[in-house]
Homo-oligomer: A and B are copies of this chain.
Amino acid sequence: MYELFYWPSIPGRGEYVRLALELAGAPYSDVAREPRGIEAMQRVLADRELAHPPFAPPILRSGALLVAQTANILLFLGDRHDIAPREEGAKLWAHQLQLTMGDFLVEIHDTHHPVSSALYYEDQRSEARRRTGAFLDARLPKFLSYFERVLEHDPGGAGGLCGAQLSYVDLSLFQTVEGLRYAFPRAMRAREAHCPRILALHERVRTEPRIAAYLASPRRLAFNEHGIFRHYPELDTTG
């Protein structure tokens, strides 16, 4: 039984871990969403006795092990469950893709918070407009083309980013596309024509039985204007 610690009101980075746990069919408790759960998470974050203190959520507890950093948690879960390749080179490749996804997420987040996460969006609106313009113009196409290019190399043609079987990286790409569609519906409509393989993979993940059941459950959180993916119509331009 795993314990996941993550902010209860946003999908955020926690959702990348949840999707992996759901595909693995691994039992977990979503601690901060339970009664007095936020206090439990704050206790972990403030615990001065921990030899391996996490810097920030998401955090996964597995017995005596406390693992933080999204990509690190997924690396750990990939070793334990059948949701990542096992051979050394393929395992590093999956992790490499996940780290690139993490870089993408930072850039997505910073479109609405280019000055500071400690300030409101409203206090960095003009900077956000400039940053988002540059993001939609250059970075969004660059990241999406990269993942599309990786999928072109799939020998079978119906597989995921690192082989025929679905891996945690495929789930992450699914979630990122979901978030981008929420945050930038206009810009994404313009981009999607260039990413047929990403869309096919997105559909495969969406209809995978365990994932489909999860998405239909109350465990799945909706996007909102407190997380990484935020919909501010004035930022959603098509250049």
Binding site for B on A (CB under 8 A): 48, 50-55, 64-65, 67-69, 71-72, 75-76, 79, 88-89, 92-93, 95-96, 99-100, 103, 106, 110, 114-116, 118-119, 124, 127, 130-131, 134-135, 138, 146, 149-150, 153
Question: With A53-B150, A119-B134 as given contacts, are A75 and B95 in contact (CB-CB < 8 Å)?
Answer: yes
Out of B79, B106, B138, which one reaches A118, CB within 8 Å?
A: B138
- CB pair B55 A67 closer than 8 Å: no
Q: How far is the CB of A239 from chain B (nearest CB, A)?
A: 14
Complex Cα distance, B230 from A125, in Å, reads 26
A51: chain B residues within 8 A (beta carbon): 153
Question: With A69-B99, A110-B110, A150-B53 as given contacts, are A92 and B116 in contact (CB-CB < 8 Å)?
Answer: no
Complex Cα distance, B131 from A72, in Å, reads 28
Question: With A106-B106, A134-B116, A134-B119 as given contacts, are A72 and B99 in contact (CB-CB < 8 Å)?
Answer: yes
Interface centre among A55, A67, A114 (most CB of B within 10 A): A55
A75: chain B residues within 8 A (beta carbon): 92, 95
Q: How far is the CB of A16 from chain B (nearest CB, A)?
A: 13
Give A79's nearest chain B residue, CB to CB. Answer: B88
Q: Give the secondary structure class of A's interface.
A: helix
A96: chain B residues within 8 A (beta carbon): 52, 54, 67-69, 72
A65: chain B residues within 8 A (beta carbon): 89, 92
Give A101's nearest chain B residue, CB to CB. Answer: B55
A89: chain B residues within 8 A (beta carbon): 52, 64-65
Q: How far is the CB of A91 from chain B (nearest CB, A)?
A: 10
Out of B68, B115, B131, which one reaches A116, CB within 8 Å?
A: B131
A149: chain B residues within 8 A (beta carbon): 48, 53
A103: chain B residues within 8 A (beta carbon): 55, 106
Give A51's nearest chain B residue, CB to CB. Answer: B153
Give A118's nearest chain B residue, CB to CB. Answer: B138
Question: With A119-B134, A150-B53 as given contacts, are A69 and B114 in contact (CB-CB < 8 Å)?
Answer: no
